[in-house]
Amino acid sequence: MQILLDNADFASRMLQQVANGLTKGSVYALVAVGYTMVYGVLALINFAHSDVYMLGAYFAYYPARWLGYMPDTAEKPKAPFWLMGMAFLGAMAACAFIGALIERLAYRPLRNASRLAALITAIGVSIFLQNVGQMAFGADPKSFPRYVDQSSVNLGVISVGNTSILIIVVAFLMMAALHLFVQKTRTGAAMRACAHDMKTARLMGINVDATISITFALGSAMAAVGGILVAMDQPRLTPTMGLLMGLKAFVAAVLGGIGSIPGAALGGILLGVAESLVGGLWDTTYAEAVSFVVLIVVLLVKPSGLLGRAGREKV
Partner 1 sequence: MLKTLGILAAGIAVAFGFGLLVDNAVPPFWALIVNLCGVSIILAVSLNVINGLTGQFSLGHAGFMAIGAYVSAYFTTTLRYFDPEVAKYVSQQPLFDGVWGFAPALLVGGLAAALAGLLVGIPTLRLKGDYLAIATLGFGEIVAILLTNFKQVGGSKGLTGIPSYADTSWIYAFVAICIAFSLFFQRSTFGRALIAIRENELAAEVMGIRTARMKVMAFVYGAFFAGLAGGLYAHLFQTINPGNFNFMKSVEVVVMLVLGGLGSLTGAIVGAIILTVLPEALRDLEREIALPGFRMALYALILILMMIFRPQGIFGQRELSLKLLRRILPGGRK
Partner 2 sequence: MRKALALVLVCLALAVFFAGCGSKIGPGYDEKEVYIGLFVSTSGEIATFGTDTKNGVELAVEEINKAGGINGKQIKLIAYDTASKADEGKTAATKLATQDGVLVSMGAVASGISLAAAPEFQKYGIPMVSPSSTNPTVTQVGDHIFRICYLDDFQGGACAVFASKDLKAKKAAILQNQDDAYSTGLADFFEAKFKALGGEVVAKESYKKGASDFKTQVTNIKGKSPEVIFVPCYYNDVALIAKEFRAQDVTVPLLGGDGWESDKLIPSAGSALEGSYFGNHYSQEDDNPKVKKFVEAYKAKYGNVPSSLAALGYDVVYVVKEGIEKAGDFDRKKIRDALAGLKAFDGVTGKFDIDENRDARKPISMLKIEGERFAPVRQIKPEEVQ
Binding site for partner 2 (CB under 8 A): 9, 13, 16-17, 20-21, 23-24, 72-76, 139-141, 143, 150-152, 159, 161, 164, 230, 233-236, 238, 240-241, 243-244, 275-276, 279-280, 283-285, 287-288
- 52 vs 79, which CB is nearer to partner 1? 52
Given candidates 14, 18, 86, 106, which one binds partner 1 under the rule CB under 8 A? 106
- 112 vs 151, which CB is nearer to partner 1? 112
Site for partner 1 in 210-239 (CB under 8 A): 239
Report residue 126 CA to chain centroid gap: 15
Establish if 124 lies at the interface with partner 1 (CB under 8 A). Answer: yes
Q: In angstroms, what is the minimal distance from the CB of 250 to partner 1?
A: 7
- Exposed, middle or buried: residue 104 (CB in 10 Å: 0-12, 13-18, 19+)? middle
Q: In angstroms, what is the minimal distance from the CB of 53 to partner 2?
A: 12
The CA distance from 24 to 298, in Å, is 20
159: β partners: 154
- 197 vs 288, which CB is nearer to partner 2? 288
- 131 vs 187, which CB is nearer to partner 2? 131
The CA distance from 124 to 58, in Å, is 21
Site for partner 1 in 41-70 (CB under 8 A): 43-45
Site for partner 1 in 135-154 (CB under 8 A): 135, 139
Given candidates 2, 66, 82, 114, which one binds partner 1 under the rule CB under 8 A? 114
